[in-house]
Structure formats: C-alpha cells, structure tokens
Amino acid sequence: SKVMLDLRKLSRADLDPELAPVSRFAHTIQLQRGDFNGNVLTIRGEDLRAMSVMFGTEPSELVVRLEDQGILAQV
C-alpha cells in the first residue's frame, strides 16, 4: 500500500495550520524530483514514519488524521 497526498487540498489557504509541515514536505519532494503534475504525490513509507515522529504520533494515527482532512489516500 502506498501513501498518496492530494496536492490541491494541501495547497488550500484554509488548510489546518498544524498541517503546514506536511505541505512543506510535499513541496520539497516535488522540487527534488521536478514533479509538477500538481495533483497527487505518492511518497515513501519511510517518509510517513518520519512525519509521524515529527508529529509525535504513530504512523497509523497520522494516516487517519490526514485521511479525515481529505489530504491522504492509501492506495
């Protein structure tokens, strides 16, 4: 299973400010790749783990939180 971020949702002005780190992370990866499809970004399992550490949650917890916000889909 892969973790796919919705870039359009992540770039909305009304994004929960606590989720700004996720938005910054996605943007950094886009730049590193030169990936400007602008709609979705699938990231590594290790990235989810790194982000969870940053949020002080379990990876599964962070997945649920981001799914609730419509930011993430597991595919």
Ligand X SMILES: Nc1nc2c(ncn2[C@@H]2O[C@@H]3COP(=O)(O)O[C@H]4[C@@H](O)[C@H](n5cnc6c(=O)[nH]c(N)nc65)O[C@@H]4COP(=O)(O)O[C@H]3[C@H]2O)c(=O)[nH]1
Q: Considering the complex, what minimum distance in angstroms separates the CB of residue 59 from ligand X?
A: 12
Hunting for tokens 């996605």 — which residue is that? 26
The secondary structure of residue 19, as a DSSP letter, is: G
When asked if residue 11 is in the footprint of ligand X (CB under 6 A), the reply is no
When asked if residue 60 is in the footprint of ligand X (CB under 6 A), the reply is no
Residue span 14-43 as binding mask against ligand X, x where in contact by CB under 6 A, dash where not: ---------------x--xxxx-x--xxxx
Q: Which residues contact 28 (CB under 8 A, 6 or more apart)?
A: none
| Residue 75, SS3 per DSSP | coil
54 is written with which tokens?
């940053």
Interaction site with ligand X (CB under 6 A): 2, 4, 29, 32-35, 37, 40-45, 47
